[in-house]
Homo-oligomer: A and B are copies of this chain.
Amino acid sequence: MNLVKHLDEKTEAPDHIGWRLWQASRAWQADFATAMRAAGHGWFTEARAGLLGHIARAGMRQSALIERSAISKQAVQQLLDGLEAEGIVERLPDPQDGRGKLVRYTRKGLDALRDGDRIKMEIERRYVGRIGEERFTALMGALRALAAGEAAAMGEDAGAEGEVVESK
């Protein structure tokens, strides 16, 4: 309510790279989640989004999903339980392996993905409008370079147990 007004206190606002990244990431996620819910996907949460980002459009083994998502298999399972209950994905026995299960999007899930893609593009357009095409491109470039550098640092790091590429 009066939060903005109060910022004229000498506020020691943090301004380091970590805070800026966090702030921008939070803002993006809030935008995205809000738009998804507005688009009728009330089941959408951040944690679920994180998992969905790893599920290949064509479906995949649950074990492969666990490997990619960098959280415990039990956590993946619980999230999948929820998504299955919401009718976003379905789990089928893997014909190739009696132990395995295949995770696949339902019709409803694919619809949500489509909406998600649209919303991402809308947000991106808004960002470009806000800071300009050039700056936006520079931003993406710097973030990609940073990530690539991170991966490289990991790689050099003799015997570090490989870092999973976390996704959204």
**Which A residues are closer than 8 A to B by beta carbons?**
1-7, 11-29, 32, 53, 56-57, 67-68, 70, 120, 123-124, 127, 130-131, 135-136, 138-147, 149-150, 153-155, 161-168
Contacts and interface: CB of A to CB of B under 8 A. Distances in A.
A131 B147 CA distance: 10
A142 B150 contact: no
A144 B138 CA distance: 13
By secondary structure, the A interface counts as helix
Given A140-B17, A142-B138, A67 B23 contact: no
A14 B145 contact: no
Given A67-B6, A127-B146, A120 B18 contact: yes
Nearest to A164: B3
Nearest to A18: B28
A27 B150 contact: yes
B29 A124 contact: no
Given A5-B162, A130-B153, A140 B20 contact: yes
Contacts of A6: 67-68
Contacts of A14: 53, 167-168
Q: Which 5 A-B pairs have the closest CB atoms?
A: A4-B162, A130-B149, A139-B142, A25-B25, A20-B143
B130 A24 contact: no
A19 B127 contact: no
